[in-house]
Amino acid sequence: MKSRKYFGTDGIRGRVGEYPITPEFVMKLGWAAGKVLSQTGTRKVLIGKDTRISGYMLEAALEAGLSAAGLKATLLGPMPTPAIAYLTRTFRGEAGIVISASHNPYYDNGIKFFSHDGTKLPDEVELAIEAMLDQPMDCVSSDQLGKAMRINDAPGRYIEFCKSTFPSEMHLDGLKIVLDCAHGATYHIAPAVFEELGAEVIRTGISPNGLNINDQVGSTAPSALVQAVVEHEADLGIAFDGDGDRLIMVDHTGALVDGDEILYIMARDAQRRGVLQGGVVGTLMSNMALELALARLEIPFLRAKVGDRYVMELLREHGWRLGGENSGHIISLEHNTTGDGIIAALQVLRAMVGEGVGLAALRSELTLFPQVLVNVRFETGTDPLANAEVQARVQAAEAELAGKGRVLLRKSGTEPLIRVMVEGADQAQVQRLAEYIAAAIPALTA
C-alpha cells in the first residue's frame, strides 16, 4: 500500500492556520475530492461540522472547492459525525465530509470523509484524492459550477433515526439521566433523543461558543459529569466527545463505565436476545478482563490495531457487527455504519430496561484489570522498540506477569511518542513494571 501524504487513520487533522488546516489547502482538498468523486453518481456531497469557530471558515473553503469541481454542496450545519454518515446514505450523496477534530481542543480541526454508503473512504479513493492534490487547480465553466443548499431539518431527521434504534415497546420513563454534550455537535440532538423517549434529562455542556468544545467537559474530562450524577442523585450519566462518535458513562454511584464495559454490556445483551452475530472486535488496548469475561460467555473476541478503521476492517472480514475501543468509540453495525455515541448509549439503556436493573449491576460481571499507560517522547528517526535494553525489560516484565497480564509497546500515530502499556491484576505491580520499561526509553534521546 502506498504511504499517505495527508490522510491519517481518521482523515486530515492539525492546528487551524497551520498547514494543512488552512483555507487554501482545504479549498483545494474540496476541489480534489470533487474531481475524484464527480466521475459517477449524483454529484452531491454533504458537509457537516462540530461547533468549533473554525468550522465556518473551513466549510466555506470546502464549498468553494467542490463548486469549482462541479459538485453540489449540501450543508448540514453542526451535526454529530455518525449523523453525517447516516444522512449521506439517506440523501444518496456521493460522499459526506465531516469538519471536526473530535475530542481535541478548539484550536485544532480536521476533515474526514464518508463514502456514499456511510463508511470510511476506501484506500484507493483517498490515494486518488492525494494524487489530485498534486495537480494544478482549475475550475469548471460557469454553467457547470456546483450549487450549495442547506438542509434545515437535519437535526430532526437524525433524532428520529436514533430513536428508531430503541424498541418501540420500551420507554425511559422514571430514569433521571445527566447528559454532557461537551459543548459539541450533540448539544441540540442528544437531549431531545432521551427526553422524547421518556427520560428526565439534566443537561450540561450544551452551550457551545466556538471556543469551549471539550474544555473540561465531555468524555475526555468526565469529572464534572461524575459530580453532577451524584449531586442530582441521577440513575446514570452519559458524556459524549466533541463530534459525538464516542461516549463514557457513569453509574448511579459516580463510577465511570468505559468503552470496554459498554462493549461487554452490549454484547451480553445481544447474546441474551439471540441477535449477536458472531463475536466482538476490540483493539490492542482493550482490557484483558473484557476478553476473559466474553470467553466465559463463549463469545469470540479479536483484537485489531488501535483505531476505528481497523476495528471496522476486522468486523467486515468476519461478518460480525459489534466492536469498539476502550476510549468509548463503539461500532454497532446493526444500527449505523460508524461509531455512534448516542446509539451506543441507547443500547446500554435497552439492556437496563430489558433486565430491569441499573447500570452498576450490568457492569458488575466485568472487573477491569488495572492498566497503566506511560507515554515517553523519543527522538525522531530512532526506533526505541528495536533497542536491546527495552526488549530485555519487556521480556522480564512478561515473565513476572506469568500470563496473568499484558505488556504492549506501540508508537503514536501522530507524534514521536512510545506508549508503554502494562496491565495485570495488581495495580502496584503494573505501575512498577510500566515505569521500569519506560525508564529504558529516555536514554535513546540523550
The residues annotated as belonging to the active site are: 102
- The type of residue at 88 is T
Query: What letter does residue 208 receive in the DSSP assignment?
Result: -
Rg of the chain over Cα atoms, rounded to whole angstroms, equals 22
**Which set of grid coordinates corresponds to residue 238?**
452519559
Task: Give the SS3 label for residue 364.
Answer: coil
Residues 146-167: b if buried by 16+ CB within 10 A, e if exposed: bebeebeebbebbbebbbebbe
Phi, psi of 176 (to 5 degrees): -105, 120
Measure the CA–CA gap between 345 and 219, rounded to whole angstroms. Answer: 13
- 46 CA to centre of own chain: 20
Name the residue among 251, 270, 265, 259 with its Cα closest to residue 175.
Answer: 251
**CB within 8 Å of 116: residues ≥ 6 apart:** 41, 88, 89, 92, 93, 94, 95
81 neighbors 25 (Cβ within 8 angstroms): no
The torsion angle over the Cα atoms of residues 371, 373, 374 and 378, rounded to 10 degrees, is 140
63 neighbors 97 (Cβ within 8 angstroms): no
**CB within 8 Å of 204: residues ≥ 6 apart:** 178, 179, 180, 181, 217, 224, 225, 228
Name the residue among 445, 400, 440, 392 with its Cα closest to residue 420.
Answer: 440
**Which set of grid coordinates corresponds to residue 26?**
482545504
Phi, psi of 330 (to 5 degrees): -110, 125
228 neighbors 171 (Cβ within 8 angstroms): no
Measure the CA–CA gap between 294 and 267, rounded to whole angstroms. Answer: 8
- 278 CA to centre of own chain: 22
**CB within 8 Å of 427: residues ≥ 6 apart:** 370, 372
Measure the CA–CA gap between 423 and 108, rounded to whole angstroms. Answer: 32
Which residue stretches of 337-438 are H helix? 341-355, 359-362, 388-401, 427-438
285 neighbors 271 (Cβ within 8 angstroms): no
